[in-house]
Amino acid sequence: MLIRTASLTVISAFGLFVTAAPACAQSAALDGIRGEFKSVSDNVMKAAHKAPESLYAYQPTPEVFTFRRMLLHIAGASYSLCASFHGKPGQGPKLDAGKEAPKQEVIETLTAAFAYCDAAMAAANDATLAEIVTAPSGMKRPKSYYVSHLIAHTSLHYGNIVTYLRLNKLAPGD
């Protein structure tokens, strides 16, 4: 009788755990993604603020972006990828990455682009990651593609930003 009662208690507890697990894990994957995006976007913003206005026109070689264009490129790609993640491919705000904007305008543009992505991710949960988005070209991809590409793209160009800063005797970060 004691074994039967203990077994029923274990089974009941396991049942409660299993039914409660989806509620707790509802956005565990997306929470990790949000955290990673916050980390890299914060690093980009720190670098954008740290760089003096004169660095915004800096271009190490003619084949690569200026610092300004790099930041505006990140902003434009963020809008594009997050519009697709939000299920609205091709409908995100557009900007001219080649625009000769002053530092403050570039920072405002980048801030708005990252906020747009934050809002798209805030409205989602783990199930959102598996939803399929059809691009204007007809290509179908899961929403997880867009947020993983967002992080990869932003991280890739943050690496470029670090190099630009170091070439100008500035350390990234605080």
Domain presence at residue 98? yes
pLDDT: which is higher, 87 or 14? 87
| Rounded to 5°, angle at Cα 80 from 108 and 86 | 105
Cα separation, 151 vs 28, in Å, equals 17
Pairing between strand 140-142 and 132-134? antiparallel
Domain presence at residue 7? no
For the whole prediction, is pTM greater than 0.75? Answer: yes
Residues in the chain: 174
Mean pLDDT of 29-43: 95
pLDDT value of position 27? 87
Domain presence at residue 56? yes
Whether residue 66 contacts residue 103, with contact meaning beta carbons closer than 8 Å, is answered with no
DSSP symbols for 47-100: HHHHS-GGGGG--SSTTS--HHHHHHHHHHHHHHHHHHHTT-TT-S----TT--
Report CA 43 to chain centroid distance, whole Å. Answer: 12
- The tokens for 7 are 């077994």
Its domain, for residue 159, covers 27-167
Confidence of residue 174 (pLDDT cuts 50, 70, 90): low
- The tokens for 53 are 């206005």
Domain presence at residue 16? no
Could you tell me the CATH number of the domain that includes residue 99? 1.20.120.450
Confidence of residue 8 (pLDDT cuts 50, 70, 90): very low
Domain presence at residue 4? no
Domain presence at residue 14? no
pLDDT: which is higher, 173 or 168? 168
Q: What is the DSSP code (8-state) at residue 137?
A: T
How do residues 76-110 score in pLDDT, each as one tens digit? 999 999 999 999 998 888 888 888 999 999 999 99
Cα separation, 57 vs 73, in Å, equals 14
